[in-house]
């Protein structure tokens, strides 16, 4: 893209010849700047850190977290057993819930994508419940499951299920009819068509569904921990902010952000590595 731009500029400049103005020369810098993005990005990061440091120092009470404070407590917080076990339980619940949602969501999504009757009965409910703010379900789970980690798991499953089911159903629906006909005319059984054609062909949809699901699952887990006061990273954040240890709490926030971004990057990498013909960053929900 950048090279094209430069080539385009070259041609334009050759055509314009003498008409090359100071204005054009000024604009000509921009494509070259693209090769030097890293220093600019680092400068941007330093700027943001400096601004937040300054703002907190000037306007906020002393207990509010600020970059230098977070940096100072980083080593001891990272090695704090409460953080480690909290991270393990929260991420364990997210993983467990996402896997359960993945299995059930794939099955329901496949059924909705391939069987019109199932779609007609479930579409309304799946769409409606996925539009509902998932945190609203937590009080109901406290009635059914008590203030326990089971309620957190249920929240995570509830949060992660709908993006997977919806994306899976649109993926299953988007499989080219030709693939299915070829598979069938070669004598493939229903099961083989599903596992050998439909599922692989809808993989990119499923992967972006998983990406959304993990994001929502993290939110669900943290909200559930706030509401239920069960152990985990969310509860660690709640407890530390209540006792005015904002810096320590912010380290946990950074951990959560790291997990969210890491999962995003992993899934993008999977799509690029194994399905390079699909554009990444595809916009589904």
Partner 1 sequence: MLSSDSRSVRWTTVAVSVLFGAALWEFGTRGMNPAVMSPFSATVLRLVEMIHSGELGAGAAQSLALFLTGLSAAVLTALPLGLLLARVRVLRVAFDDYIALVYAMPMVALIPFILSIFGLDFPAKALVVFLFCFFPVLYNTVEGARSIDSELIEVARSFRSSEWAVWRDVMIPGAFPYAMTGVRQAIGRGLVGMVAAEFFLSASGLGQLLMISARNFDTAGLFGVVLIITLLGAGLMAVGQALENRFTTWRGVGR
Interface positions, 60-89, toward partner 1 (CB under 8 A): 60-61, 63-65
Among 32, 50, 57, 127, binds partner 1 (CB under 8 A): 127
Q: Does 142 bind partner 1 (CB under 8 A)?
A: yes
CB of residue 173 vs partner 1: minimum separation in angstroms? Answer: 6
CB atoms within 10 A of CB 15: 8
Total number of residues that touch partner 1 (CB under 8 A) = 71
Q: Does 156 bind partner 1 (CB under 8 A)?
A: no
Residue tagged 């569904």 (tokens): 209
CB of residue 252 vs partner 1: minimum separation in angstroms? Answer: 7
CB of residue 170 vs partner 1: minimum separation in angstroms? Answer: 10
Binders of partner 1 among 187-246, rule CB under 8 A?
215, 218-219, 222-223, 226-227, 233-234, 237-238, 241-242, 244, 246
CA distance 267 to 280: 9
CB of residue 270 vs partner 1: minimum separation in angstroms? Answer: 16
Under DSSP, the state recorded for 243 is T
Q: Does 93 bind partner 1 (CB under 8 A)?
A: no
Among 45, 75, 146, 200, binds partner 1 (CB under 8 A): 45
Q: How far is CA 227 from CA 95, 129, 143, 232, 244, in A?
A: 20, 20, 13, 12, 20
Contact 232, 97 (CB under 8 A): no
Among 7, 20, 25, 27, binds partner 1 (CB under 8 A): 27
Among 74, 100, 135, 188, binds partner 1 (CB under 8 A): 135
CB of residue 24 vs partner 1: minimum separation in angstroms? Answer: 8
Nearer to partner 1, 103 or 121 (CB): 121
Among 20, 62, 76, 121, binds partner 1 (CB under 8 A): 121
Among 7, 51, 99, 257, binds partner 1 (CB under 8 A): 257
């Amino acid at each position: 893209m950048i090279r094209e731009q430069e080539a385009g500029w070259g041609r334009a400049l050759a055509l314009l010849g003498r008409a090359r103005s100071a204005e054009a020369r000024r604009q000509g810098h921009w494509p070259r700047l693209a090769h030097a993005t890293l220093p600019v990005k680092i400068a941007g990061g330093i700027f943001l850190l400096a601004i937040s440091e300054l703002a907190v120092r000037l306007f906020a009470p002393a207990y509010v977290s600020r970059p230098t404070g977070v940096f100072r407590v980083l080593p001891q917080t990272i090695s704090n057993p409460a953080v480690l076990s909290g991270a393990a339980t929260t991420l364990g619940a997210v993983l467990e819930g996402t896997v359960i949602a993945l299995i059930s969501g794939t099955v329901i999504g496949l059924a909705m994508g391939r069987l019109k009757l199932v779609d007609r009965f479930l579409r309304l409910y799946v769409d409606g419940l996925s539009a509902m703010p998932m945190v609203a379900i937590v009080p109901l789970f406290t009635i059914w499951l008590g203030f326990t980690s089971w309620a957190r798991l249920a929240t995570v499953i509830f949060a992660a299920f709908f993006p997977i089911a919806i994306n899976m159903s649109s993926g299953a629906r988007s499989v080219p009819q030709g693939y299915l006909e070829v598979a069938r005319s070669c004598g493939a059984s229903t099961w083989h068509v599903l596992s050998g054609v439909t599922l692989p062909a809808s993989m990119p949809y499923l992967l972006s569904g998983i990406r959304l699901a993990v994001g929502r699952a993290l939110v669900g887990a943290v909200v559930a921990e706030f509401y239920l006061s069960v152990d985990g990273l969310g509860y660690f954040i709640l407890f530390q902010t209540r006792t005015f240890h904002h810096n320590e709490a912010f380290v946990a926030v950074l951990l959560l952000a790291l997990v969210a971004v890491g999962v995003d990057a992993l899934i993008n990498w999977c799509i690029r590595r194994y399905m390079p013909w699909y554009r990444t960053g595809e916009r589904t929900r």
